[in-house]
Amino acid sequence: MFKLAEAGKVHIKWVGLISLDTYTPEEQEQIRKGIEKYDAYPIFVDKKTMDDCTSYYDSVISPVFHNFVSYKQDSGVRNAKLFQAYRAMNKAFVDAVLAIYKKEPKAMILFNDPYFLLAPKMILESETPHIGYFFHSPFPSCEIFKIFPNVQEVTNVVANSSA
């Protein structure tokens, strides 16, 4: 992808997360302005949401995407709470991506990693871009998905990605 960008065949914009609690609003604005020239756009997420989202990823998604089951029946309530944070982080990411996409409606949106499994469906609720998704790990087997919480919502990534 970067070779295509260097050759002038594609234009890449990066959108990424930064924990909010470590920066004042003034510092956030300085960061935005400082990295804008690199076509990089930060999303500032509060520390609690970031921590809960990371916990959900580490305790549920990552094991599933490595065909390892660690989900415990008694952690269902905790995982439901963490899943809400995961959904909120995906929504914050989608809002930022859509703001950029509205300025360049022919762009392709490429997601990287299972941190944003909910994002393609959220985007398609308001826009119809080409969406790609890149996984660093093999997609889990169907046996693993049988016990995966939120399986329907999370597996929509495959159905909602066009490349």
- Could you read off the pLDDT of 20-44 as tens digits, one per residue? 677 888 998 999 899 888 888 898 8
Full DSSP string of 78-101: HHHHHHHHHHHHHHHHHHHHHHHH
Q: Is 1 helix (H, G, I), strand (E, B) or coil?
A: coil
CA dist 87 and 95 (Å) reads 12
- pTM for the complete prediction? 0.79
Cβ proximity of 93 and 42 under 8 Å: no
Orientation of helix 76-101 relative to helix 47-56, angle to 10°:
110
Structural domains of the chain, ranges and CATH numbers in brackets: 46-160 (3.40.50.2000)
In whole angstroms, what separates CA 10 from the centre of its chain? 22
